[in-house]
Amino acid sequence: MNISVVENVLKLNDELAAVNRGKLKDHRIYTVNLIGAPGCGKTSLLESTATLLKNKLRLAIIVGDLTTQRDADRMALYCNHVVQVNTGKGCHLEANHVRTAMERLPLKEIDLLIIENVGNLICPVGFDLGQDVKVGMFSAAEGDDKAAKHPYIVQEAGLLLLNKMDLLPYVNFRQEIFRADIHRINPKVDILDISATRGDNMAAWTNWLCARAAKSATQ
C-alpha cells in the first residue's frame, strides 16, 4: 500500500512535469533544475549569473526553500523575474510547485529559467520538474567524498559545478578523489570548477547556459 502511494505521487508528478515541459518548450525557454546541499552557494551563483547574463538572455528564477523570502529578496536585486516557493516541511520541489510558480511569470518574455531547488542533495533528485537539464552543485568546503556519498545527483546531472574554489587553500579537499568518484559514477558528465564570489569560470558557466538557451530558441 505504501509503495503504491509513492508510485502514484511520482506518477502524478511526472504528468505535471510533462505539462510544464510542454509549456516551456512552446515558449522556447531553456530550463535548468539546480540541485545542491544547503550552503553550497546556489543563491550566490544565481546572483552572479543574473549580473553576467544581463542584456544577453532574459532570465527568470524560481527558488525553493522551506521558509523565508530571503533568497528571492537577494536575487530580486539582480533579476526582474523571481518567484519564491515555500515548501513548509517539504524537502524538495515538485512539478506542481513549478506549475504554480510559472503562472506568475511572463513566459513570453523569458529565454532561460533556472529553478533553484530546496537545499538538499537527496530528495530533489527524484522529482522531475519539467526541466531540460539537472545541474548538480557541490562545494570544496563540503569535502571530497560528497560525490561518492551522493551518487544519484551525479548520475542524473547534465553538468556538475564545484563551487568555492576560493576556499581550496584552507580546506582538505583532494580534487583527484572527487573527480575519480564522479568519473566512475557518470563518465560522461562535465565538471566545472567555479567560485561564484571570486568569479572563477563564471564565463564558462554563462557561456554554457547561453549556448543551450540559443539551441532551445531555434528548435
Q: Based on CB atoms, which residue is closest to its own copies, 142 or 200?
A: 142
Q: How far is the CB of 91 from its own copies (least distance, A)?
A: 4
Neighbours of 122 (CB within 10 A): 14
Q: How far is the CB of 141 from its own copies (least distance, A)?
A: 4
Q: How far is the CB of 9 from its own copies (least distance, A)?
A: 7
Question: Rounded distance, CA 5 to CA 9, Å?
Answer: 6
Question: Rounded distance, CA 170 to CA 60, Å?
Answer: 35
Question: Rounded distance, CA 195 to CA 203, Å?
Answer: 11
Q: Based on CB atoms, which residue is closest to its own copies, 25 or 179?
A: 179
Of 178, 180, 175, 128, residue with least CA distance to 156:
128
Question: Rounded distance, CA 128 to CA 18, Å?
Answer: 9
Distances (CA, A) of 112 to 6, 28, 79, 212: 31, 9, 12, 9
Let me know: does 196 contact 163? Beta carbons within 8 Å. yes
Q: How far is the CB of 219 from its own copies (least distance, A)?
A: 33
Q: How far is the CB of 158 from its own copies (least distance, A)?
A: 20
Q: Binding residues for its own copies, per CB under 8 A? A: 1-2, 5, 8-9, 37-40, 65-68, 70, 89, 91, 118-123, 126, 139, 141-143, 145-146, 148-152, 164, 166-167, 170-172, 197
β-bridge partners, 61: 82, 114
Q: How far is the CB of 180 from its own copies (least distance, A)?
A: 13
Q: Based on CB atoms, which residue is closest to its own copies, 3 or 218?
A: 3
Q: Based on CB atoms, which residue is closest to its own copies, 42 or 58?
A: 42
Q: Based on CB atoms, which residue is closest to its own copies, 34 or 40?
A: 40
Q: Based on CB atoms, which residue is closest to its own copies, 171 or 211?
A: 171
